[in-house]
Amino acid sequence: MKNRIDAAFEKCRAANRAAFMPFLTAGDPTLAATAALIEECERCGADMLELGIPYSDPVADGPTIQASYGRALSAGCRLEDIFDMLRGVRERCELPILTMVSFSIVSRHGPQAYFGRAAEAGVDGVIIPDLPIEEGAAVARLAEKARLHPVFLVAPTTPDERMKGIVRRSRGFIYYIAVAGTTGARAALPLDLAQHIARVKAATDKPVAVGFGVSSPEQVAAVAQAADGVIVGSAIVRKVAESAGRPLPELVQEVGRFVKKLAAATKKN
């Protein structure tokens, strides 16, 4: 059976557009809201979804996502609750889902157990930003054994030789970090971003998806011309936070409108 991530990229390639991947924090503001938002993202044109697993000490996330993790943890969000929520979502939703998760969480539960439970809940891939490729090969094999795609990250500062190892080990796609540093909306993306994406694409035939800093339909449209996928995180998480005090249907509708605008910007010229 083909992984949903692979099928999504094939579908987008045939439609001459980049895949759009929103990011949500699990449990922010509630797990019921997260479930409704995942389904709304699918309805509004998302091609896959990155789900952040709340962690008290994230290493790659800026203040917006850090704050969302804090809210989810304060509300008592636990890993098993997240997997329970995803099992329910999977009964109604075919959107490919990847968890963005700290290796501390994976290690605490045991990689084999974490991947097995994730796969059973309907997860398709895993991104572990604090797991370097040099130490990640064995972990990646365990993810693949559970039929999950392990996705590794390439930064603007990654040397060519190291990048070759990363693209060999990644499955599904390569996650390219548009800007050095942490996640967070940026007013402008690097002028040489397309050149950096081309450098990664020259090293692999796997899709390259770009995240970190992409925050508006205009930026999505620009990135989509060079990349195979576009990831938007902090701008969506901020929209969730701004609507958190409203009734759930209104929150979902407000976020959905924004996701729809972003997804509509992925057409290639």
60 phi, psi to nearest 5 deg: -115, 0
In sign, the C-alpha dihedral spanning 229, 116, 27, 62 is: negative
Decide: helix, strand or coil at residue 229: strand
The count of residues in the chain is: 269
**Catalytic residue chosen out of the listed positions 6, 42, 47, 61:** 61
**Residue 83: which residues within 8 A CB-CB, separation 6 or more?**
117, 118, 120, 121
Query: Which among 50, 130, 144, 250 is annotated as catalytic?
Result: 50
Task: Let me know if 205 is a catalytic residue.
Answer: no
Question: Going by DSSP bridges, is the β-strand pair 97-100/49-52 parallel, antiparallel, or unpaired?
Answer: parallel
List Cα–Cα distances, 174 to 179, 182, 265, in angstroms: 15, 18, 21
Strands 229-232 and 149-151, by their bridges, are: unpaired
Query: What is the Cα–Cα distance from 129 to 126, expressed in whole angstroms?
Result: 10
- Give yes or no: 50 in active site: yes
β strands within the chain, DSSP E: 19-25, 49-52, 97-100, 125-127, 149-151, 153-154, 174-177, 208-211, 229-232
Catalytically annotated residues: 50, 61
